[in-house]
Homo-oligomer: A and B are copies of this chain.
């Protein structure tokens, strides 16, 4: 039985981006203070938080000072160095724990865990150390295949689709020597995800299944709830989270095949862009849910009362804020980023639909 953090306690967040910002805003609503750790001054999260520590993510002295001033430490991105996570957890509780980070940081560890420990369906995959390995593995599963760097991939970066053996040498070379895995290509009908929470007592709460549309490998739109939610995704999320003894909110992304079968693509050990609709769905939003879980609180209600469509504002999309602010059923969420760069997530809009 973990201690329950009362209002007035301090939540530490590694990372200063929009996810940290929205976590901080949610924590504030519950009367909790936030402490942001980030290398850059004036980050979106620090602007709305009581405390800020500036430091590199591998500055273990700064991490020690930061964690020592927090009651619990969490993170808004999964590429926290393992040594940093270990250091933070010496001076405060770390939630989700180091095992979730380890699994989510490396596609090979992740897929192996998902298949062998959690027992959920994933695409066929192989650890390929050389281009010869890659060709042999591809012949076995059949083209097309996908090469992916094991670490630091996001929004389609570090990936190459390979349609035939003739393309393999160039594709493998484009990985620049990084450790790589090869995955079978899943001819999916749609991409869906599920956001769920688990707390120290093992209490579990899943939001409904979400349908996601990507543009240029970046999430463009989430439709909540997705049609045809049969509970299978939530059951898989629960197996994964139980397997990791997970505390907090986690997102699981799936490919859904023509026959409805769900194949797990990847997990994100944190609040997730495909859960932003919860802010205006009439339920406990994913940010509050994460804070509740890591603070030892009971989980909130994850059943939405309204349909919501979430649309990301990427780069220059954000210049439309003034028009978007006039739509009576749209709620605007801006991240406090000063510069509109191509591909940069600047905000999102939740459009509220019919009652469920």
Contact = CB atoms under 8 A, between A and B. Distances in A.
Contacts of A315: none
Contacts of A329: 301
A39 interface: no
B334 A31 contact: yes
B298 A325 contact: yes
Nearest to A282: B282
Q: Chain A interface: which size bin?
A: 35 or more
Contacts of A322: 4, 6, 297
Most B CB within 10 A of own CB, among A47, A49, A50, A284: A47
A306 interface: yes
Interface stretch (A22-30, A127-135, A251-259): A22-30
Contacts of A328: 300-301
Contact of A33 (B30, B325, B336): B336
Interface of A: 4, 6-8, 21, 24-25, 28-33, 47-50, 280, 282, 284, 292, 297-298, 300-301, 305-306, 318, 321-322, 325-326, 328-329, 331-338, 347, 352, 355
B31 A347 contact: yes
A281 to B, nearest CB: 10
Contacts of A33: 47, 336
B298 A28 contact: no
A147 to B, nearest CB: 38
A29 B325 CA distance: 12
A355 B352 CA distance: 14
Contact of A306 (B6, B24, B282, B336): B282
A29 to B, nearest CB: 6
Contacts of A47: 28, 33, 50
A329 B304 CA distance: 11
6 contacts: A25-B28, A28-B47, A31-B334, A282-B305, A297-B322, A300-B325
Contacts of A325: 292, 297-298, 300
